[in-house]
Structure 1
Amino acid sequence: MGLVVEILALPLAPFRGVGWVIDKVVRAAEEEYYDPAPVQEALVNLERAREEGRIDDEEFARHEEELLHRLEEIRVYQLQRGARPGL
């Protein structure tokens, strides 16, 4: 019966292929968007900029808050997906 179903579904193969490609692209985009490493690196660079006097404390606090909020968003996403946070 599986062969009959495959033969009957053959005209739909291009659509399944497009769906597979879209799924892979979405997964890759999500992995990149929810990667905590760039945000952690931005926090390190932000701290370095403050220490070197390139930004003041007010600007530092504003950017730090945004980055920490982003890390929290990533952690929540990872917990919802069942992944271990930070990995």
Structure 2
Amino acid sequence: MDILWTLLTLPYAPVRGVTAVVKVIAREAESRQRNPANIRRELEELDRAAAAGEITESERDRAQEEVLDRLTGAVHPAPAGERRRAGDGGRRGTAAPVVRRPTGNGGRQARPGRRAG
């Protein structure tokens, strides 16, 4: 049976290989992103840029907060009126996840305008 399965799924072998490589790359990128040495280097770079006048103090503070949030995994809602930036990964200002509650009718959801039952 294993030989038959291997032969039938052989055309998908390149896809499985690419998927495995992508998973390894994603794991490595995440570990580098959360590495305390890299976080410290980024914070030092922000301090250097602020001291050189390349960025303002408020920009430095905001960037430091984002770097530290990445380290701790904290997510803060965006202040009212602030738009999300393309590079923030959609973390700020996102809605809470939808929680489904039992309906008492065998898991079926009632349609609008109809009673459950």
Using the size of structure 2 for normalisation, the TM-score is 0.41
Q: Which runs of 5+ in 2 are unaligned?
A: 75-117
Cα distance in 1 for residues equivalent to 2:4 and 2:36: 47
Q: Compare CA radii of gyration and give the structure with the larger one.
A: 2
Partners of 2:14 and 2:67 in 1: how far apart?
A: 42
Q: Identify, as 1 or 2, the structure richer in helix.
A: 1
Partner of 1:19: 19
> Shift in Å at residue 7 of structure 1?
1.0
The match for 1:6 is 6
**Residues 46 and 16 (structure 1 numbering): CA distance in 2 closer, same or farther, change over 3 Å?**
closer
Q: CA deviation at 1:69?
A: 3.3
The Cα of 1:33 is off from its aligned counterpart by 1.0
Q: 1:23 to 1:65 in 2, by over 3 A?
A: closer
Amino acid at match of 2:18: V
TM alignment of 1:1-87, pairs within 5 A:
1-43=1-43, 54=51, 59=57, 62=61, 65-73=65-73
Q: 1:66 to 1:23 in 2, by over 3 A?
A: closer
Whole-Å separation in 2 of the counterparts to 1:41 and 1:5: 49
Identical pairs, percent = 35
Q: Distance in 1 between matches of 2:64 and 2:21?
A: 37
Greater relative contact order, per chain length (Cα 8 Å cut-off, separation 6+)? 1
Deviation at 1:16, TM superposition (A): 0.9
Q: Give 3-state SS (helix, strand or coil) of 1:17's partner.
A: helix
Number of residues of Structure 1 aligned to a counterpart in Structure 2: 69
Q: Structure 1 residue runs of 4+, over 4 Å off?
A: 41-47, 63-67
